[in-house]
């Protein structure tokens, strides 16, 4: 990844799509092959398992909570952890996933917070729609970049073409009622993006989308087979993080949950360095149910290993 490799303490590459039997020798051969390929290109470390695209999709090794995985979350066999750590990988950071019954939201309190924020003036909320896709993608990028820049000074901004591709490819499953933005004087300042768990349909189609299965997909979607949803992104730009906007975003979409369309929310990819998000999840009584690790391996085995810096 030429955009990011020079921003680490040492040039760092990555590998993904790792699949292996329970055999350390076989795993070592795969790891050595990745290391050799990266070393030939000037890398001095490798992260994994990470796949192509942004880090909120298919990123990290599942090490705890071997249950159904939400959209964009990876599943691995329990023995993979041993294969990685026996080779010498160390945890660079962990990503936590939480489950929540949407009817457990303290919605009355959230509604009061939203009304308080609206009374201050200048605040507004808008639901996503595909007719204004370009505008909402621009707003998504502005918010996402502002949020992540507060964690990483060397953060690489999102590419608009990549985000447009994600939204267009996911159009058949996106429930626009679950994507909301907040604005202050028409400037984008917060958003929540949830994607229904399409795995609930794909497992009934054996993962294949030929012509007949496309019809089955539409029918199963109409039958509300997807009753789980994943928070793909919840973010508020730094200067408005105490304005109660998370409560407002959730309040605006809560009518969907009140109808019973979704019975489980997964709040995933909460970095162990993101204390604010961890506290928020705990405050709404979400249960920590899964952990993924992003591992790093330094090619110089005498070099001091440093974890991703913790937040506040």
Q: Which has more confidence, 199 or 24? A: 24
* pLDDT band, very low/low/confident/very high, at 4 (cuts 50, 70, 90): low
pTM across the whole model? 0.83
Mean pLDDT within 53-68: 82
Q: What is the mean pLDDT of residues 268-289?
A: 87
Please check whether residue 182 is in contact with residue 125, taking contact to mean a CB–CB distance below 8 angstroms: yes
**Does residue 1 carry a pLDDT above 70?**
no
The pLDDT-based confidence of 241 (bands split at 50, 70, 90) is: confident
* Domains of the chain, CATH where assigned: 5-95+293-298 (no CATH), 102-262 (3.40.630.30)
pLDDT at 266 over 80: yes
Any idea which of 17-26, 90-99, 303-312 has the lowest mean pLDDT?
A: 303-312
Please say if the pLDDT value at position 58 is more than 60. Answer: yes
Give the mean pLDDT of 213-224.
88
At 298, the pLDDT band (50, 70, 90 cuts) reads very high
Q: For residue 154, what pLDDT is reported?
A: 65
Asked if the model's pLDDT at residue 119 lies above 70, the reply is: yes
User: Higher model confidence: residue 96 or residue 217?
Assistant: 96
């Amino acid at each position: 990844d030429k955009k990011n490799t020079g921003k680490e303490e040492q040039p760092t590459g990555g590998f993904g799509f790792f699949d292996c039997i329970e055999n350390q020798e076989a795993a070592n051969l795969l790891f050595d092959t990745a290391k050799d390929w990266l070393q030939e290109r000037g890398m001095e470390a490798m992260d994994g398992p990470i796949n192509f695209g942004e880090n909120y999709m298919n990123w990290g090794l599942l090490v705890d909570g071997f249950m159904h995985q939400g959209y964009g979350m990876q599943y691995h066999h329990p023995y993979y952890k041993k294969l990685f750590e026996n080779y010498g990988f160390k945890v660079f950071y962990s990503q936590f996933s939480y489950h929540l019954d949407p009817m457990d939201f303290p919605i009355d309190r959230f509604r009061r917070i939203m009304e308080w924020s609206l009374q201050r003036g200048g605040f507004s909320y808008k639901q996503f729609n595909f007719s204004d896709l370009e505008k909402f993608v621009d707003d998504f990028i502005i918010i996402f970049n502002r949020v992540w820049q507060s964690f990483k000074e060397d953060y690489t901004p999102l590419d608009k073409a990549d985000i447009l591709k994600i939204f267009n490819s996911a159009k058949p499953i996106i429930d626009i009622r679950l994507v909301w933005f907040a604005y202050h004087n028409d400037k984008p300042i917060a958003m929540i993006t949830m994607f229904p768990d399409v795995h609930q349909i794909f497992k009934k189609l054996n993962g294949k989308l030929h012509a007949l299965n496309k019809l089955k997909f539409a029918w199963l979607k109409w039958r509300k087979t997807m009753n789980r949803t994943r928070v793909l992104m919840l973010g508020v730009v730094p200067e408005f993080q105490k304005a109660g906007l998370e409560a407002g975003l959730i309040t605006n979409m809560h009518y969907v949950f009140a109808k019973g369309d979704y019975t489980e929310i997964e709040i995933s990819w909460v970095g162990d360095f993101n204390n604010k998000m961890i506290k928020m999840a705990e405050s709404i009584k979400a249960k920590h149910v899964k952990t993924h690790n992003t591992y790093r391996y330094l090619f110089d085995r005498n070099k001091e290993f440093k974890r991703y810096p913790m937040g506040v």
